[in-house]
Structure 1
Amino acid sequence: MSALFGKVCQNGYVVRDIDAALKFWTETLRVGPFFLIPSVKVDWFRYRGVDSAVEMSIALANSGDLQIELIQQRNDAPSMYLDFLARHGEGLQHMSYWSTDYQLLYDRAVAAGFTVGHEGQIGGPRGRFAYFDTAGHAGTVIEISDISGSKGRFFETIRTVAATWDGSDPIRVVGRRGIMAQTPQGL
């Protein structure tokens, strides 16, 4: 537990081939089911304060209370995902802390000296996220994510489904309109 951020809720892995990563996680590790968003729709995304047109696919599952996120960037727009791939290759890129009071957590992180590397929004103002540089910690970035809106409900659905997963239907594709476009009831 971090006195600054709370508990780690998600580990995010940057991958070059999301299909191969899904195969490993579902068949070898037997974690799932994964909810795959082939084309994530971001409201906005900024890398080091400059707009960036990131295109990515993500897949989400839970292992107990810890969410696993697989991220494949689909273009060469500037991002911390590509920075990580260039420096470290594939692997654990971030740990995420979630909050229903995002702005308070964001302001607290900035006041503590953290610098935003990239940030964005998915599904409206209650879907913000920020990734902070962590020069003192080799490799792994710290993310904070607002779960006060529909993203939080979606994440809870993923956790609930994983708790009773029997191994069937290991990859569930979410509509191409993005993570927030499909209600949890429709998954």
Structure 2
Amino acid sequence: MRIVGGRFRGRKLAEVGAGDAAAHLRPTPDRVREALFNMLGSGRFGRVLEGARVLDLFAGTGALGFEALSRGAAHVTFVENGAAGRALIRENIDKLQAMGTTRLFRRDATRLGDNRGAPFTLVFMDPPYGQGLGAQALGSATKGGWLATDALVIWEEAAPQPAPTGFVIEDQRKYGASHITLMRQKPASEMDSSA
């Protein structure tokens, strides 16, 4: 696994082999990350990465967050409950010397609690497939004030995901066995008018 674009392009990340099923580690393949970030870097999403505050939920190895950091994000907060994933994220932070632009929380992404810092403009979610954990995590992030107004959420799952209340789908793509759903949080004015 390597960073596929930006200032860290070509840098190798910590090895996980085929993944760790017991730890729910299923790294997003390089080609899928490349396609996703090419989409984020062009067209209507063209400036979403520049200066972004990124929240990487169910972070696993942190590959999505590190790719965002490589391509212009200002900060990434990784949320990972598993010991194996946290060890890999720490190793990757060291490899990329990204100590000043990252934070790592040992926390259940479905029970985030209140955010004590600035909200996040870009969110990656790659939960264990088919368990309904992504919707729970998104609800927790919304309730806890983790999302900035108009935050973009990129949700990787085994099937296309419907937009939960308060969100609108921007795009959906299929890459092999993975479906990527991009959605935005509706501005408060739109949510009030739809009530």
What's the TM-score, normalizing by structure 2?
0.30
Structure with a larger share of its residues in strand:
1
What's the TM-score, normalizing by structure 1?
0.31
